[in-house]
Amino acid sequence: LAKTTQPISMDSYEGQEVNITCSHNNIATNDYITWYQQFPSQGPRFIIQGYKTKVTNEVASLFIPADRKSSTLSLPRVSLSDTAVYYCLPRRGNTPLVFGKGTRLSVIA
Amino acid sequence: SAVISQKPSRDICQRGTSLTIQCQVDSQVTMMFWYRQQPGQSLTLIATANQGSEATYESGFVIDKFPISRPNLTFSTLTVSNMSPEDSSIYLCSAGGGADNQPQHFGDGTRLSIL
């Protein structure tokens, strides 16, 4: 599976839109991109998954350009409760997820 | 989405003893996995729990230390054997994924401390 690179940490004020970009230069043709959120003392929680272009759900949007070498998770109007670690992960069929270091997002009042 | 329950949620154990962690999924799943997470660190895959056959271990993890059972499509156990303080960690069960593009889901983990 492709190696991913994302910022170690980000800070944001409440109410702002947060964009976390992940690079995955060597992503394979049949890999999807998934994003997970993890709070302290909890397991990772699935947020969103996409293959190309844009995917939106009630929590976030995911933008994947045509070359698929990067993806951007967009969190609209963050609140203090969005403070967590966010992981970008390529996903392929039956292959288990392999976690990188993730991005620690701190939302400030 | 699958709901995953782990027992115990936490335990404090003496070195040299063994502990078995149970993972129950509320629906039948093809794939189940076990991960370890040190405090402040990312998750590391221990093994894939295969139903009806031996688990597939990642580099650095062996069956004698981390025996795994998968008796059916909704249940798995991970045993941490002959524990030492270095085994203190959070152990997480995961299920799902597969060829139908369903995401993997995670339990909330078992926090293990070895004295």
Domains by residue range for chain A, with CATH: 9-108 (2.60.40.10)
pLDDT tens for chain A, 109 residues long, are 778 999 999 999 999 999 999 999 999 998 999 999 999 999 999 999 999 989 999 999 999 999 999 999 999 999 999 999 999 999 988 889 999 999 999 999 9
| Residue B44 contacts A, CB cutoff 8 Å | yes
The tens digit of pLDDT for each residue in B34-88 reads 999 998 899 999 999 988 888 999 999 999 999 999 999 999 999 999 999 999 9
Instruction: For residue B36, give the CATH number of its domain.
Output: 2.60.40.10
Q: Which domain holds residue B63?
A: 4-101
DSSP string, chain B: ---EEEE-SEEEE-TT--EEEEEEESS--S-EEEEEE-TTS-EEEEEEE-TTS--EEPTT--TTTS-EEEEETTEEEEEE-S--GGG-EEEEEEEE-STT-PPEEE---EEEEE-
Does B115 reside within a domain? no
> How many domains does one find in chain B?
1
Please report whether residue B111 resides in a domain.
no
Does the distance separating the beta carbons of B99 and A43 come in below 8 Å?
A: no
Residue of A nearest to B106 (CA): A43
